């Protein structure tokens, strides 16, 4: 069995789990999740052990030239087909169960995979957007990603199969040949399409962060699961909870930027740890 806390004794791990359960018992919990909650669904982590180095395309690059957009859309399409096939795992289902029981106020996620929604979480703030939506940057029209993917497949019949590419946490993939790729355009105005996700170089939409902040303010505790808290939006929510003197529990494999500010840190996988916490919190 994988230990809940690495590099420490089993008794210390059990103590951390019991402390976390005691802190969270009887409280309305807001949960902040990162890529670590989706690794058990086959979606790799950006920064976990063995994760390949990545230099994701920035928003400025995407806007700069058709060649960049071809590269992005070719990789994103292949990644999306694998991304879309992923299923919610134990972490997603446990959090949905805790929400159903009234223990979790809602989930704020840094992920764009849509797995929390598919697992049944109702009160969800997707801070960085969701890959299942596509927006036109010119007229603002929104499209279902599945319909755009169908158009891409029809326009690019020679595109490699998804099994031949490596998926990334943002639904992208590495593609060697993309100059012949036919990029989809908005069917309303012919404008530039972009998945409804926050690119590097973009800011989290103000209304999204306001929703997340309101959720934290309306809670009695903050549980952070599967996030290294490298992204600024996560740290800002942690700081909001700390200033309000809320108990903060962090569950993550390895070090996070918030460890020194956590009330309890559990170094372990989210599926097994959240399952163990739920067993102690649910009646």
The CA distance from 87 to 42, in Å, is: 9
In this structure, the number of other CB atoms found within 10 A of the CB of residue 267 comes to 21
Q: Decide if 77 is catalytic.
A: no
Rg for the chain (alpha carbons), in Å?
20
- Collapsed DSSP state (helix, strand, coil) of residue 222: strand
The residues, ordered by sequence, that sit 6+ positions from 150 with a Cβ below 8 Å of its Cβ are none
Query: Given 77, 92, 116, 128, which residue is catalytic?
Result: 128
Q: Report the interhelical angle of 270-281 vs 90-100 (nearest 10°).
A: 20
DSSP secondary structure code for residue 189 in this structure: T
Are the beta carbons of 168 and 44 closer than 8 angstroms? yes
Catalytic amino acids? 128
């Amino acid at each position: 069995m994988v230990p809940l806390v690495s590099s420490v004794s089993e008794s210390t791990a059990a103590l951390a789990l019991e402390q976390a359960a005691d802190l969270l018992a009887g409280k309305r919990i807001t949960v902040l999740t990162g890529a670590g909650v989706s690794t058990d669904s086959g979606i790799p982590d950006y920064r976990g052990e063995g994760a390949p180095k990545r230099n994701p395309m920035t928003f400025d690059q995407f806007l700069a030239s058709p060649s960049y957009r071809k590269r992005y859309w070719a990789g994103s399409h292949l990644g999306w087909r694998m991304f879309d096939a992923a299923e919610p795992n134990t972490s997603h289902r446990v959090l949905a169960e805790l929400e159903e029981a009234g223990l979790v106020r809602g989930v704020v996620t840094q992920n764009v995979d849509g797995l929390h929604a598919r697992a049944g979480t109702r009160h969800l703030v997707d801070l960085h957007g969701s890959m299942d939506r596509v927006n036109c940057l010119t007229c603002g029209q929104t499209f279902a990603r599945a319909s755009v993917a169908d158009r891409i497949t029809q326009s690019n019949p020679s595109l490699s199969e998804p099994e031949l590419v490596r998926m990334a946490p943002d639904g992208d993939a590495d593609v060697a040949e993309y100059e012949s790729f036919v990029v989809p355009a908005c069917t309303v105005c012919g404008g530039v399409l972009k998945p409804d996700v926050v690119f590097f170089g973009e800011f989290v939409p103000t209304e999204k962060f306001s929703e997340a902040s309101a959720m934290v303010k309306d809670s009695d505790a903050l549980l952070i699961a599967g996030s290294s808290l490298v992204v600024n939006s996560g740290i800002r929510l942690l700081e909001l909870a700390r200033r309000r003197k809320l108990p903060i529990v962090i569950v993550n494999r390895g070090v996070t930027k918030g460890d020194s500010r956590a009330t309890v840190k559990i170094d372990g996988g989210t599926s097994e740890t959240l399952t163990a916490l739920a067993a102690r919190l649910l009646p």
